[in-house]
Amino acid sequence: MVLINSIGGDVSTTDIMRWLRHFGMPALRLSEKDQITNVLLGENNSFEITINNNISVRSDALRSYWYRRGQLNIAVIGKAGKKINSVLQQETDHYLRNDHAILLTFIYNELAKKKHIGSFDRCTFVNKLVNLSKAESAGLLTPRTIVTGSRKELLQFISECKQVITKPVAESFYYHSGNYWLPSYTKTITAAAARRLPSAFGHSLFQQRIEKKIEIRSFYLNGQFSSMAIFSQNDSKTTDDFRDYNYEKPNRVVPYQLPRMIEEKLDLVMRDLAYESGSIDILLDPSGQYYFLEINPVGQFGFLSLQCNHKIEKKIAQYLADE
């Protein structure tokens, strides 16, 4: 059996489960709505978990594991039947949360010993700054980068680089309410805009804006790359960030082959970070230089797979299903 930790509504997970069914490999998908209602730890670090008081999964019956998104949930059982001291209740809740965290850490640790793609800790806590440092150490070019909360330092950086973009230090921010969808994108910040900032502001990431010939999205899976060239520079709406889609006139995209030297350096970065898979963003400038931007170990790959016929879903399913 293949165990998949994902979230409800993730289309790529559904597509991969269809491929697993095609290969005759049973798979169990656990989303944020599923609860682990019992955990039994046995000898030799084996474990058995019961899902929703209905399905039991033994660790020795698992062939492989895929961490896609979300987190396993252990149900809270045995709440007090009558009111107790509020401070004691808080301490009890804190104790139970710690207990559950230890159990989940153990389960995730044992799952990582299986044939697997991704893990909760490495895929949830992604550090862009560490990843940039790893890329530089591997010999990849990266844009000049600073993190600052000082208007003076930002204006100095803009003066030196001429063109500068800003994006979140951590993961992108998304807000959804009713019919409104408010995402955060990579955007150019001018000196005029910087001057309107207060003298001190929340620490933010700024990079030299690289003029691009094309933007490249590459999906990595255990040493293999499936890449796509995105002609996002031809549209003012997408020139900073192709995710700010122009639905009326979409960017042209084509399959792309990265140079072997670039793939080898990227492979070093991914192995150093212990990423079995991930979506990598790269820029190619007009002079032919490749610039590493960032890695998302749980990045979307459905669009890349469909538009360039890379069949990534099939490749992931084959890896998980094979002996």
User: Domain check: are 40 and 119 in the same one?
Assistant: yes
Q: What is the block-wise mean pLDDT of the chain (323 residues), using blocks of 10 residues?
A: 93 96 95 90 87 92 95 74 68 80 91 94 91 97 96 96 89 67 78 95 93 94 96 66 62 91 98 96 96 92 93 97 84
The domain boundary, picked from 64, 94, 123, lies at 123
User: Domain check: are 165 and 60 in the same one?
Assistant: no
* 114-152 pLDDT per residue, tens: 999 999 988 988 999 999 999 999 999 999 999 999 999
Tokens of 235: 């549209």
The domain boundary, picked from 123, 153, 187, lies at 123
User: Domain check: are 166 and 263 in the same one?
Assistant: no
Would residue 309 count as lying in a domain? no
- pLDDT at residue number 166: 92
| CB contact set of 194 (below 8 Å; sequence gap of 6+) | 151, 154, 155, 158
User: Domain check: are 136 and 152 in the same one?
Assistant: no
Would residue 84 count as lying in a domain? yes
Domain that holds residue 192: 144-209
The domain boundary, picked from 209, 228, 254, lies at 209
User: Domain check: are 82 and 132 in the same one?
Assistant: no
CA-to-CA distance for 221 and 212, rounded, in angstroms? 26
- pLDDT at residue number 235: 60
In sequence order, the β-bridge partners of residue 117 are 66
User: Domain check: are 264 and 135 in the same one?
Assistant: yes
CA-to-CA distance for 235 and 233, rounded, in angstroms? 6
User: Domain check: are 119 and 158 in the same one?
Assistant: no
Would residue 316 count as lying in a domain? no
User: Domain check: are 119 and 194 in the same one?
Assistant: no
- Report DSSP letters for 213-252, one per residue: SEEEEEEEETTEEEEEEE-GGGSTTTSS-TTS--SSSPPP
Would residue 161 count as lying in a domain? yes
User: Domain check: are 21 and 115 in the same one?
Assistant: yes
- pLDDT at residue number 217: 95
Would residue 301 count as lying in a domain? no
* 173-194 pLDDT per residue, tens: 666 667 766 667 788 899 999 9
173, exposed or middle or buried, with CB in 10 Å at 0-12, 13-18, 19+? Answer: exposed
State the DSSP H helix or E strand holding residue 255, giving kind and residue range, or none if neither: strand 253-256
In sequence order, the β-bridge partners of residue 206 are 146, 166
**CATH number of the domain that residue 133 is part of:** 3.30.470.20
User: Domain check: are 263 and 253 in the same one?
Assistant: yes
Number of domains within the chain: 3
- pLDDT at residue number 84: 63
Q: In Å, how far from its chain's centre is CA 12?
A: 14
State in Å, rounded, how far the first CA of the chain is from the last one.
Answer: 11
User: Domain check: are 161 and 76 in the same one?
Assistant: no
- Report DSSP letters for 120-133, one per residue: HHHHHS--HHHHHH
Would residue 21 count as lying in a domain? yes
Tokens of 269: 């970065």
User: Domain check: are 215 and 252 in the same one?
Assistant: yes
Would residue 105 count as lying in a domain? yes
Would residue 97 count as lying in a domain? yes
